[in-house]
Amino acid sequence: MTEIEYFKPERGQRPGANEDPRLDWWREAKFGMFIHWGVYSIPAGVWQGEHIPGIGEWIMLRAEIPIAEYEKLAPQFNPVKYDADQIVKLAKAAGQKYIVLTSKHHDGFCMYGSKETDYNIVDGSPFGRDVLGELADACAREGIKLGLYYSQTQDWHHPDGFGNTWDFNEDEQDFGDYIDNYVKPQVREILTNYGPICIIWFDTPRIIERHQSQELLDLAHSLQPDCLVCGRLGNKLGDYATAQDNAIPPELQAEIDWETPATINDTWGFKTHDHNWKSPAQLIQNLVDIVSKGGNYLLNIGPDAEGAIPEPSIERLRAMGAWLDLNGESIYGTQPGPIQGEAAYRTTQKGDAVYLHVFDWPADGGIALPDLAASSASWLDASCDATLSLSRDGESTTILGSAEAPKEHVTVIRLQL
């Protein structure tokens, strides 16, 4: 079995580890919305007239922008187009069952009213509203779970945070003090003041020690026992494994709960000039591929400096939602299917149904499968009236459909066992 290279918690490696009932909702949900949003959406990949390579939320590090300069973005941050209800309704329309918002990313700016620093959207920007608080209320209204991303080691604004080598001398920093007297109080406030939080999504565990990871895990679980901790807490601790960004394991990962965090273009934080948007077909195939191997797809949007969601993201998420409206039975609450490792199709299973997700429709309309004790085959999309038949010869099962692919995106056939 191919390892998920990063962030695979110890607990996830135990046989039968997938038994923690706290993850039941997560295994059912399969598909979530990531939101990367902060003052980095103002420069949006450009600094002093130069395009800064890499992901947009890393512009402060990539351009080694001094804190004194970067801080000037906060008084400019006034995202008047921010509409939490619109975001949550988009997630629902996309078929995303939970949302994970960056409460504090590596640049240190907090998207909620923190009592630990004024470097936050409520006290440090003309907007003056609690973005996280409004999103939490909208999620509660719409019945969508809310998770929070929190950068627990990298903090390029705090004198004792990790990663800012251009303003600070690492030898003079006290990371232990940062964890105990800044990170823990902030974790406490985000897990106390905003209602039920389904996931705390820690990230880049660069220099964190085992006991520090353990203390943060214990703190999160003490404040909200049902809050899942993602695998990037560090030191192989956490409730589930987190793959590298945009990485999909080539094989089934049967023994662990895992997810792929992913972008729709190439950046998490908004960048003006990143137009490399994945197609709806690719995004749907990624979702099917991940779920067929036992994982969740956490797909990102990056609102711009005004709080608007890029139109290409909206279009793609709506296309995914339209596909899920017709085929969601083959995704939500399923297990990996009995046939793995095929390029042209993926399988998932739920009870006595196997779902065959055809990526590459065969020219002759015939799909030869290993023998499955399937009694019938039907298009999962009930609106599809193309011909379809199933035959078995004791060694193989053959599905015969029309020569043309019945549908624009992944076609799903339901095999009744």
Q: Which parts of this chain interact with ligand JFZ (CB under 6 A)?
A: 6, 55, 57-58, 203-204, 244-245, 261, 268
- Of 203 and 274, the one with the shorter C-beta distance to ligand JFZ is 203
Q: Where are the beta strands (DSSP E) in 64-162?
A: 98-104, 145-150
The CB-of-54 to ligand JFZ minimum distance in angstroms stands at 9
The CB-of-270 to ligand JFZ minimum distance in angstroms stands at 13
**Residues with Cβ < 8 Å from 269, sequence gap 6 or more?**
36, 37, 38, 40, 41, 44, 55, 56, 57, 58, 59, 105, 302
In whole angstroms, give the CA distance from residue 118 to residue 152: 18
- Of 57 and 130, the one with the shorter C-beta distance to ligand JFZ is 57
Q: Which helix (H) or strand (E) holds 50?
A: strand 50-51
- Of 204 and 378, the one with the shorter C-beta distance to ligand JFZ is 204
In whole angstroms, give the CA distance from residue 99 to residue 154: 22
Go through 37-50 and write b for each residue having 16 or more CB atoms within 10 A of its CB, e for each that does not. Answer: bbbbbbbbbbbeee
The CB-of-369 to ligand JFZ minimum distance in angstroms stands at 35
- Of 183 and 377, the one with the shorter C-beta distance to ligand JFZ is 183
In whole angstroms, give the CA distance from residue 157 to residue 12: 34
Report the chain's terminal Cα–Cα distance, integer Å: 27
- Of 34 and 359, the one with the shorter C-beta distance to ligand JFZ is 34
The CB-of-245 to ligand JFZ minimum distance in angstroms stands at 4
What does the block give as tokens for 236?
A: 């192989």
The CB-of-298 to ligand JFZ minimum distance in angstroms stands at 8
> Can you say how many angstroms the Cα of residue 314 is from the centroid of all Cα atoms in its chain?
16
The CB-of-244 to ligand JFZ minimum distance in angstroms stands at 4
- Of 108 and 261, the one with the shorter C-beta distance to ligand JFZ is 261
